[in-house]
Structure 1
Amino acid sequence: MNQRWTKDELNEAFELHAATVAGAAASGDWEPFVQLFLPDATYVDPMVGVMRGHEQIRPWVTATLGTFPGSAMHYPEAWHLVDPERGRIVCELRNVLRDPGDGSTFEENNISILEYAGDGRFRSERDVYDSAAMVKLIESWGRRSAELGTLDEEERAWFSGAYPHILQPSDG
């Protein structure tokens, strides 16, 4: 890529990305997020692998972040860096599950590498995170939420299939 972007343009693109993610997490509508990417963009997720284009990104993001447990998360920025020469943005996003009811915080980080395409759109995103830690995070949050009685019906149904042991009363 010989195109060079200014720091300001990359920072504005990142702010648009962050605002779009926050809006999608709040509304449950992930289509604006899909539209941040070029139609032939590449998205890489550690658990899913490589997705190419809107037609692969859309069903993944809708199923993963638009439904529980992804729908119980929000994704505030910890930090970001821009590389104008390469047109890249590297950021750390916090994957934060909602308060289980006692004020505690359950979160894991995610490093994302975004390749900018211009006009507020991206040609690729690569997420880097510890998938085992993410699975453990969800289980721990579910256990605490079950203890506090704050899981709704949909969440209880999900946990009964994924982690039925956390819904069982302890023998202790």
Structure 2
Amino acid sequence: MTTFPREEIEAAFAEFRRRGVETHDWAGWADMFTEDALYEEHNLGVFRGREAIKSWIVECMADYPTMTLWIEWYAIEGNRVSFYIWNNLPDPTGTGRRFGFPNTTFLEYAGNGLFSFEGDYYNPADAGRVFMEWLGAGGNRETPQDRSLKGIEGWSPAVPEGEYSREEIEREFEIYRQRGVTAVATGDWNQWADQFTEDAQYREHHYGYFNGQQEIRDWINGVMQPFPTMEFPVSYKVIDGNRVSALIPNILPAPDGDDGYYGFDVNSILHYAGNGKWSYEEDVYSPAEAGAVVKRWLAAGGVIPS
């Protein structure tokens, strides 16, 4: 597979941002996908082909004329782009209230200024809650946009500033992955929690926010009890300084005699703090999709330990 020059991908992504984030030219934005592109929106559906993407995005965004978008960060590795974007609604009360939620995205660049894949990850319950709160506060289609809106203060910590080599971060991420494999094989999630700093923070887009290694340890030991055989293979990762953004499907093994796929995608974001420790993790995904997967798995014969 051809790996395109970073400068070419940067230029295409700048135009992608201009058409979408900056000007809301959604038809023109959709034209930046290949004719056979795949778009996985993990709440609203899967769209195959440029025309299907265009039809959906133009209709969808017409319902949100007051929404503005802000990209907090992006990273490029190979032909892949990973970015973190805020969906913001203007404060109808004039009191400084915030109505916004983030999602993460992976793009795959295919050359000639076009992208062949996009995947969006977020909790649709957060989106629905924010929108209903906004309507309750008086928001409507005539509320003026506020392009000064960015992210929510304190949402995530800054990436550590230490200078660590890419080789070290590659090595430690592989250890992170192996700790997950070990936890599944042995049931020992304590060794997985050991890799976080004592003051680490963890944002899980369904279960909440955990402060400190001990809270992370208590949560992971509890949440994994019903799913001791769930696996976490890494599809791919993007490393940018001390930040790692990885797509890590959470997969339940098919019951005996069944060859179905029982997995859901999670975008995990990690901050490396040195000495083999991570100071932050954020898991971005659709809990509704996860719940549907578990329901299908149980119906096919999957068993939760008593």
Task: State TM-score, norm by structure 1.
Answer: 0.75
Provide Cα deviations, 1:29-82, integer angstroms capped at 9, x if missing partner.
421011010111111112222100122112211121122xx2221111100000
Distance 2:46 2:141 in 1: 33
Distance 1:139 1:91 in 2: 26
**RCO higher in 1 or 2 (8 Å CA, sep ≥ 6)?**
1
1:133 aligns with 2:126: yes
Matched AA of 1:12: A
Q: Which residue of 2 aligns with 1:74?
A: 68
Distance 1:34 1:152 in 2: 23
Change (3 A) 1:49 1:152: closer
Residue 77 (structure 2) aligned to one of 80, 83, 88: 83
Residue 151 (structure 1) aligned to one of 136, 140, 150: 140
The alignment covers a number of residue pairs equal to 142
Q: Which residue of 1 aligns with 2:87?
A: 95
Q: CA RMSD in A?
A: 1.9
Query: 1:100 Cα deviation (Å)?
Result: 1.8
Residue 58 (structure 2) aligned to one of 36, 39, 62: 62
Change (3 A) 1:88 1:97: same
Q: Which residue of 1 aligns with 2:41?
A: 45
- Asked whether the equivalents of residues 44 and 51 of structure 1 are also in contact (C-alpha less than 8 Å), the reply is yes
- Asked whether the equivalents of residues 24 and 32 of structure 1 are also in contact (C-alpha less than 8 Å), the reply is no
Distance 2:73 2:114 in 1: 20
Distance 2:44 2:102 in 1: 17
Name the structure where helix makes up a greater proportion of residues: 1
- Asked whether the equivalents of residues 66 and 142 of structure 2 are also in contact (C-alpha less than 8 Å), the reply is no
Distance 2:91 2:6 in 1: 35
Change (3 A) 1:6 1:47: same
Residue 33 (structure 1) aligned to one of 29, 48, 65: 29
Query: 1:152 Cα deviation (Å)?
Result: 5.2
Distance 1:152 1:36 in 2: 28
SS of the residue corresponding to residue 101 of structure 2 reads: strand
Same amino acid, percent of matched pairs: 27
Query: 1:119 Cα deviation (Å)?
Result: 1.9
- Asked whether the equivalents of residues 88 and 114 of structure 1 are also in contact (C-alpha less than 8 Å), the reply is yes
Query: 1:14 Cα deviation (Å)?
Result: 1.6
Stretch of structure 1 that moved more, 30-39 or 5-14: 5-14
Residue 114 (structure 1) aligned to one of 107, 111, 121: 107
Matched AA of 1:96: N
Task: State TM-score, norm by structure 2.
Answer: 0.44
Change (3 A) 1:153 1:18: closer
Moved over 6 A (4+): none
